Amino acid sequence: MALEMNSQLGSIDISKEVVATVAGGAATDVYGIVGMASQKQIKDGISELLKRDNFSRGVVIREFDDDLHIDMYIIVSYGTKISEVAYNVQTKVKYQLEQMLGLTVESVNIFVQGVRVSNP
């Protein structure tokens, strides 16, 4: 599956994997984010912190009636205000996708899967 954009010069197909990678990279740059959570292990109630090379994991791209919806599964750092971190992720992901890929994002839904306590 790919997202298709049409212009005067032709069409551009952008893979959902590319969109997920850009969104995951933007999210991990936000202060308070420890990493992305694996969505496969949600059933077990266990969140696995994914390494930086797995930006696309923890990101689900959905397309309904030409509207783009993104679900992000994240792990936040202990001591941060979760609502503020989630808002910053939503804002940054939406901005990066609009600037880098020219996509209009309808919604960015955040699912906090865990809180990680760092060692002092």
The overall average pLDDT reported for the chain is: 84
pLDDT band at 3 (very low <50, low <70, confident <90, very high): confident
DSSP 6-66: EETTEEEEEEHHHHHHHHHHHHHTSTTEEEEBPSTTTTTT---BPPTT-TTTTEEEEEETT
- Provide the pLDDT for residue 22: 92
For helices 16-28 and 82-101, what crossing angle results, to 10°?
A: 140
CATH superfamily of 2-116: Cation efflux protein, cytoplasmic domain (3.30.70.1350)
Q: What is the pLDDT of residues 15-69, one digit of tens each?
A: 989 999 999 999 989 999 988 887 665 454 554 555 555 778 889 999 888 889 9
pLDDT band at 105 (very low <50, low <70, confident <90, very high): very high
Q: Which two tokens stand for residue 62?
A: 């959905």
Q: What are the structural domain ranges in the chain? A: 2-116
Q: Which two tokens stand for residue 111?
A: 């699912």
